[in-house]
């Protein structure tokens, strides 16, 4: 009779296959396996983003007239009390949650990617899902893309942790989740890939591109199955009317840079003020601010893509557009700065669209016969504001290209994005929102070349597996049997020590020959030998974590512990081997 799935034989086969997968992923040379895991991550992340959008859009579509974004049509009481009461209740709930689970959105993702080897906590994932949905349902001046990035990265990281994969595979899986999430939000797969590699992982590799691209395709597929093939914004199929507009486009970039720098400074100052204050107080004040602003400018509530559409069609005047942009900037930067679990990408696109729309209106006043369509300037403003504030010019340019399906946007888009990014960085000394936030929180750290290299390989990929564990007191026959297996190391787990087999063999040769009936005991603690003090490390760690542990514990070797319940030793990783690997 063949073994059923529940038999010991099948369980052993499954365990062996899982261990083999972990070993291959630890080497950093496992593109097919990582690609399949990236695809799985993209599917799950896409489904989570669809669920997140349904939770927000279905109730709002029922309560608001016409559209789930039409907060402007609600009464003034709703404009004030909905964000104020919603933020107050959310703050009170989060006050009862452990403080370590309050952090959310893209800043939290970057912290976990670069300071915790991609390990993301499930508690923060839950805070982001329910807290982000609550923000959008109550009309806070935040976006859905930041929560989507966190949920996507969390999906990849938590999947890897659940499968007990080596730590070096968690960061690429989180990148796959980010790409799928951004692609699912905007229906822009290539922008999702570039955003994941430029903003989150901060590196471009061929091996990393393939699984991330496949994850983005999966995310878009899931979204199109749920919402159809429409892109997020109106298709701006127009061309630049006249080369004389180039100076005006460059000036648009400079204006955007002013708003970008102002946003970064306000956000960071609010974050600095909020560091040691209770979250209930912080969110109450954020809700009060948003509600007060919404009394006069209700356009700032929620995601605001309907306002972007109105700006594209020229339905909003110059001064109202500037007023909306300034109010949105003020409300969003402070709300997110004090800890509201919402997103920043959508508000940045919103602010840029309003500024671009205002400049487009002015262009039509200056050059009524030859100026490009207002929607053209709206799209340029969106890309410039996103690129300058996040310090992600390539992701921004790819986003505006995919959002319009218009190749004519590339030339002026490059000009406006580069002008905005250069001015923001060099004139205003702002290198990107998230780097500034990490500086304020004391979490910014620049990884050196050695750390980057060692973090890409797991200890499983370099450990010496010729290890045998034994007790300190053994019989001579047992010692001879142990040496017959030709191990490279002997582990004395109780004393956290390693012994070299050659020393035990030399001791056995010096013992007198006795009759087989006589039992000779050997104390491995007392025989002449060089002993290595060591610490233990789990099998999912990477080489950088191993080297750091050796430095902290002042040891030269670690024994690698299995992640299963039996915690069996899998092998030994030495300082010498890590150093040799890095030098190679």
pLDDT digits (tens, 9 = 90+) for 500-552: 899 899 988 888 776 555 567 888 888 888 888 888 899 989 999 999 999 99
Distance CA 373, CA 174 (A): 39
Distance CA 199, CA 464 (A): 37
- Signed CA dihedral, 527, 532, 537, 542: sign only: negative
Question: What are phi and psi for residue 569, nearest 5 degrees?
Answer: -70, 135
What local confidence, expressed as pLDDT, does residue 197 receive? 94
What local confidence, expressed as pLDDT, does residue 1 receive? 42
The 3-state secondary structure of 120-176 reads CCHHHHHHHHHHHHHHHHCCCCCECHHHHHHHHHHHHHHHHHHCCCCHHHHHHHHHH
> In a 3-state reduction of DSSP, which class is residue 89?
helix
Q: Report which DSSP code applies to 373.
A: P
What local confidence, expressed as pLDDT, does residue 338 receive? 97
Calculate ∠ Cα 287-306-354, nearest 5°: 80
Tokens of 396: 């921004």
Distance of CA 367 to the CA centre of its chain: 44
User: 292, exposed or middle or buried, with CB in 10 Å at 0-12, 13-18, 19+?
Assistant: middle
CA distances for 569 relative to 26, 53, 418, 428, 492, angstroms? 17, 45, 54, 54, 11
The 3-state secondary structure of 541-580 reads CEHHHHHHHHHHHCCCEEEEECCCCCCCEEEEEEHHHHHH
Distance CA 11, CA 419 (A): 60
Select from 563, 504, 561, 475 the least CA-distant residue to 162. Answer: 563
What is the phi-psi region of residue 117: left when phi exceeds 0, alpha when psi lies from -120 to 50, beta otherwise? left
Angle, nearest 10°, between helix axes 393-404 and 170-186? 40
Instruction: State the residue for tokens 């938590």.
Output: 158
What local confidence, expressed as pLDDT, does residue 131 receive? 97
Contact assessment for residue 382 and residue 376, using Cβ atoms and an 8 Å cutoff: no
CA distances for 113 relative to 176, 402, 460, 563, angstroms? 13, 27, 21, 22
Distance in angstroms between the alpha carbons of the first and the last residue of the chain = 52
User: 10 Å Cβ neighbour count for 377?
Assistant: 32
Contact assessment for residue 347 and residue 142, using Cβ atoms and an 8 Å cutoff: yes
> In a 3-state reduction of DSSP, which class is residue 503?
helix
pLDDT tens for each residue of 217-260:
999 999 999 998 776 555 555 556 677 788 999 999 999 999 99
Q: For 380-401, b where at least 16 C-beta lie within 10 A, e where not — what string? A: bbbbbbbbbbbbbbbbbbbbbb
What local confidence, expressed as pLDDT, does residue 2 receive? 47
Tell me the whole-structure pTM to 2 decimals. Answer: 0.89
Q: Report which DSSP code applies to 498.
A: E
Question: What are phi and psi for residue 464, nearest 5 degrees?
Answer: -90, 115
Question: What are phi and psi for residue 475, nearest 5 degrees?
Answer: -85, 160
Contacts 24+ apart (CB under 8 A), 488-493: 488/464, 488/572, 489/464, 489/572, 490/524, 491/467, 491/559, 491/569, 491/572, 492/524, 492/525, 493/469, 493/559, 493/569
Which residues are 143's β-sheet partners? 343
What local confidence, expressed as pLDDT, does residue 73 receive? 92
Tokens of 445: 């750290």
Q: Which domains does the chain have, with CATH numbers?
A: 22-227 (1.10.3080.10), 243-440 (1.10.3080.10), 458-583 (3.10.580.10)
Residue-by-residue pLDDT tens, the chain, 584 positions: 445 555 777 777 777 778 888 888 888 668 899 999 999 999 999 999 999 999 999 999 999 988 889 999 999 999 999 999 999 999 999 999 999 999 999 999 999 998 898 999 999 999 999 999 999 999 999 999 999 999 999 999 999 999 999 988 999 999 999 999 999 988 889 999 999 999 998 888 777 899 999 999 999 999 999 998 776 555 555 556 677 788 999 999 999 999 999 999 999 999 999 999 999 999 999 999 999 999 999 999 998 888 998 998 889 999 999 999 999 999 999 999 999 999 999 999 999 999 999 999 998 888 887 677 888 899 999 999 999 999 999 999 999 888 888 888 889 999 999 999 999 999 999 989 999 999 999 988 776 778 888 888 899 888 999 899 888 888 888 888 899 999 998 888 888 888 889 989 998 888 877 655 556 788 888 888 888 888 889 998 999 999 999 999 999 899 899 887 667 888 999 898 898 887 75
């Amino acid at each position: 009779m063949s073994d059923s799935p529940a038999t010991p034989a099948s369980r052993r086969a499954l365990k062996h296959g899982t261990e083999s997968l972990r070993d291959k992923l630890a080497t950093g040379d496992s593109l097919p396996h990582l690609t399949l895991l990236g695809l799985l991550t993209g599917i799950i992340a896409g489904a989570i983003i669809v669920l997140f959008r349904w939770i927000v859009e279905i109730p709002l579509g029922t309560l608001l007239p016409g559209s789930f974004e039409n907060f402007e049509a609600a009464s003034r009481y709703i404009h004030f009390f909905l964000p104020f009461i919603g933020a107050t209740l959310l703050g009170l709930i989060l006050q009862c949650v452990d403080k370590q689970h309050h952090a959310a959105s893209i800043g939290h993702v970057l912290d976990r990617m670069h300071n915790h080897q991609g390990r993301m906590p499930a508690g923060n994932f839950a805070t982001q899902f329910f807290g982000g949905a609550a923000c959008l349902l109550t009309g806070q001046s935040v976006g859905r893309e930041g929560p989507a990035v966190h949920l996507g990265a969390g999906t990849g990281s938590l999947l890897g942790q659940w499968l007990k994969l080596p730590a070096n595979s968690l960061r690429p899986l989180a990148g796959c989740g980010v790409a799928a999430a951004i692609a699912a939000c905007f229906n822009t797969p290539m922008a999702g890939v570039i955003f994941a590699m430029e903003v989150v992982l901060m590196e471009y590799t061929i091996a990393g591109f393939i699984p991330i691209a496949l994850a983005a395709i999966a995310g878009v597929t899931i979204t199109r199955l749920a919402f159809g093939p429409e892109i997020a914004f109106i298709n701006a199929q127009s061309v630049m009317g006249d080369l004389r507009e180039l100076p005006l486009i460059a000036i648009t970039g400079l204006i955007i840079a002013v708003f970008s720098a102002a946003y970064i400074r306000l956000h960071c100052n609010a974050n600095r003020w909020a560091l040691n204050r209770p979250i209930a107080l912080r969110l109450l004040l954020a809700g009060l601010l948003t509600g007060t602003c919404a009394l006069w400018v209700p356009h700032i509530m929620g995601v605001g893509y309907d306002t972007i559409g109105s700006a594209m069609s020229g339905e909003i005047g110059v001064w109202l557009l500037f007023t909306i942009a300034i109010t949105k900037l003020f409300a969003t930067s402070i709300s997110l700065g004090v800890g509201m679990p919402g997103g920043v990408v959508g508000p940045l696109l919103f602010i840029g669209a309003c500024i671009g729309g205002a400049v487009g209106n002015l262009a039509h006043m200056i050059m009524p016969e030859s100026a490009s369509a207002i929607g053209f300037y709206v799209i340029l403003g969106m890309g410039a504001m996103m690129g300058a504030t996040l310090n992600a010019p390539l992701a921004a340019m790819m986003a505006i290209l995919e959002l319009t399906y218009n190749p004519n946007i590339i030339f002026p888009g490059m000009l406006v994005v580069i002008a905005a990014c250069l001015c923001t960085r060099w004139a205003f000394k702002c290198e990107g929102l998230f780097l500034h936030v990490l500086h304020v929180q004391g979490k910014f750290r620049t990884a050196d070349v050695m750390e980057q290299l060692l973090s890409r390989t797991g200890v499983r990929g370099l450990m010496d597996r010729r290890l045998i564990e034994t007790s300190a007191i053994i019989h001579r026959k047992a010692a001879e049997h142990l040496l017959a297996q030709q191990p490279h190391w002997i582990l004395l787990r109780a004393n956290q020590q390693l012994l070299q087999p050659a020393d035990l063999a030399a001791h056995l040769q010096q013992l007198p020959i006795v009759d087989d009936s006589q039992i000779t005991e050997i104390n491995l603690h007392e025989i002449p030998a060089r002993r290595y003090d060591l610490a233990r490390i789990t099998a999912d760690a990477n080489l950088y974590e191993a080297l750091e542990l050796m430095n902290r514990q002042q040891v030269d070797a670690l024994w690698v512990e299995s992640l299963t319940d039996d915690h069996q030793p899998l092998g030994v990783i030495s300082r010498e081997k890590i150093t040799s690997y890095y030098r190679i």
